[in-house]
Amino acid sequence: MKKIFILILIPVLTIGSTAALVYYIKIDTFSFAWAFNFMLMVFIPPFIDTLKSPITSSYYNEKTWEKRGKVYEKLGINVFRKLLVLIGWEKIIRKAHPIEKNTQSLVNLHLQTKKSEISHLIILFIVLGFNVFVAIQYGFVKSLSLLILNIILHLYPIMLQRYNRPRIERAMNLSKRREGHLATLPNDITKTAANDGII
């Protein structure tokens, strides 16, 4: 009953908050784009967590066209990762979600990357809808705030999850093989894992 209540409450609050933003802030401004994105980031992740879905869709599997992350590297994913470290996001994530060198920690992290990806994907399409509306009603230039923030706050985080998840899978397999021994996971995997699934 509690789960159903939360799953109903979150969409109601999301719609109500969106209506309030539209009423009090001009929809074609940067202020609206900023507030709208972060409002969605407050409501959507808890909704996904409450669903408690196993998230087993093949969508999350690494695709051939991703070329083991080479596509994302060409699109600047490593620059984005460095930016997260520069602004202090990595420290915040490490504090909230400590990375332990054991299999279960990696399994949990792997699941979290999926939750993070689907959350950002949902938000990306919601914001895209508003982006198209603003572009039609007020012109493309007025919609740039929504477009740029959508790319930075959602598209790149989605790419980051897809870039890191295969690496976490390899670390999981390595950890399972070394289970019961004093194993040390590769440092680059442990470090980059701190950014996975939380953004």
Q: What is the pTM of this model?
A: 0.85
Domain ranges of the chain: 75-193
pLDDT (0 to 100) of residue 198 = 40
Q: Is 122 helix (H, G, I), strand (E, B) or coil?
A: helix
Nearest to 38 by CA among 109, 125, 127: 127
Task: Report yes or no: 33 and 145 within 8 Å, Cβ to Cβ.
Answer: yes
The rounded distance, in Å, linking the Cα atoms of 132 and 140 is 9
Regions of the chain with pLDDT less than 70? 96-97, 179-199
Quote the CA–CA distance of 118 and 123 in Å, as a whole number: 9
Contact 66, 132 (CB under 8 A): no
How far is Cα 86 from Cα 161, in angstroms, rounded to an integer?
A: 19
pLDDT at 102: 79
Give the pLDDT score at 106. 87
**What integer pLDDT is reported at residue 185 of this predicted model?**
47
Q: Residue 180's pLDDT is what?
A: 57
The answer to whether residues 21 and 130 touch, using CB atoms and an 8 Å cutoff, is no
Residues 189, 171 contacting (CB under 8 angstroms): yes
Comparing C-alpha atoms, which of 186, 162, 165, 167 is closest to residue 101?
186
pLDDT of residue 108: 87
Q: What are phi and psi of 39, to 5 degrees?
A: -65, -45
